[in-house]
């Protein structure tokens, strides 16, 4: 009977050892799979980030191109006003002034672009915070009046 108890004990220990080995191998395989999945997730996230950066860059370029076209259009409008304005008198003087202002504004928009105009606006607000706040309140009031009537 001692032999049979020893045999059972040995078989139990062998089975436990095999189960432990199998569990260790399963753990290693799981860790390897998790590592591969994490690497793949990092790769996909990196590709998504690059795609997002390209999209933002493309939108920025499109906005700058649109701004450039708007500036060009304003300049052309100034030239058209100059060509069709009377040469003398009060209307001639007003036409020339308006044409010059439009041309200068168009040049400014073309040269500065959106980022330059945003920087200029930021600096203007920093230098004149109270008037900027009052203008903001006034615009908000007008927008509220316009939307409440609809």
Cα distances from 30 to residues 13, 20, 21, in angstroms, run: 25, 15, 14
Whether residue 134 is contained in a domain is answered as no
Whether residue 148 is contained in a domain is answered as no
Whether residue 103 is contained in a domain is answered as yes
Structural domains in the chain (count): 1
Percentage of the chain beyond pLDDT 70 is: 97
Tens of pLDDT, residue by residue over 91-130, are 888 888 888 888 999 899 888 888 888 899 999 999 999 9
Q: Annotate the chain with DSSP letters as a single string.
A: -HHHHHHHHHHHHHHHHHHHHHHHHHHHHHHHHHHHHHHHHHHHHHHHHHHHHHHHHHHHHHHHHHHHHHHHHHHHHHHHHHHHS-SSHHHHHHHHHHHHHHHHHHHHHHHHHHHHHHHHHHHHHHH-HHHHHHHHHHHHHHHHHHHHH-
Q: Is the pLDDT of residue 46 over 90?
A: no
The predicted structure's pLDDT at residue 140? 92
Whether residue 72 is contained in a domain is answered as yes
Q: Is the pLDDT of residue 13 over 80?
A: no
Whether residue 140 is contained in a domain is answered as no
Neighbouring C-alpha atoms within 13 Å toward the C-beta of 18 = 6
Whether residue 105 is contained in a domain is answered as yes
CB 110 within 8 A of CB 78: no
Separation between Cα atoms, residue 67 and residue 111, nearest integer Å: 10
Q: What is the pTM (predicted TM-score) of this model?
A: 0.54
The predicted structure's pLDDT at residue 122? 92
CA dihedral 114, 116, 118, 120 (to 10 degrees): -150
Whether residue 126 is contained in a domain is answered as no
Whether residue 128 is contained in a domain is answered as no
What 139-145 contacts at long range (C-beta under 8 Å, 24+ apart), as own/partner pairs, is: none
Separation between Cα atoms, residue 87 and residue 42, nearest integer Å: 69
pLDDT band at 32 (very low <50, low <70, confident <90, very high): confident
Mean pLDDT estimate for the chain: 83
Q: Which domain holds residue 59?
A: 2-113
């Amino acid at each position: 009977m001692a032999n049979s108890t020893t045999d059972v004990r040995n078989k139990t220990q062998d089975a436990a050892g095999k189960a432990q080995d199998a569990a260790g191998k399963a753990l290693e395989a799981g860790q390897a799979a998790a590592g591969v999945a994490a690497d793949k997730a990092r790769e996909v996230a990196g590709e998504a980030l690059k795609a997002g950066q390209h999209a933002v860059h493309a939108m920025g370029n499109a906005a700058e191109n649109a701004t450039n076209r708007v500036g060009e259009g304003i300049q052309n409008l100034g030239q058209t006003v100059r060509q069709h304005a009377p040469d003398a008198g009060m209307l001639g003087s007003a036409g020339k002034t308006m044409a010059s202002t439009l041309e200068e504004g168009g040049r400014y928009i073309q040269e500065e672009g959106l980022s330059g105009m945003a920087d200029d606006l930021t600096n203007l607000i920093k230098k004149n915070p109270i008037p900027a706040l009052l203008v903001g309140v006034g615009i908000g009031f007008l927008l509220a009046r316009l939307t409440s009537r609809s």
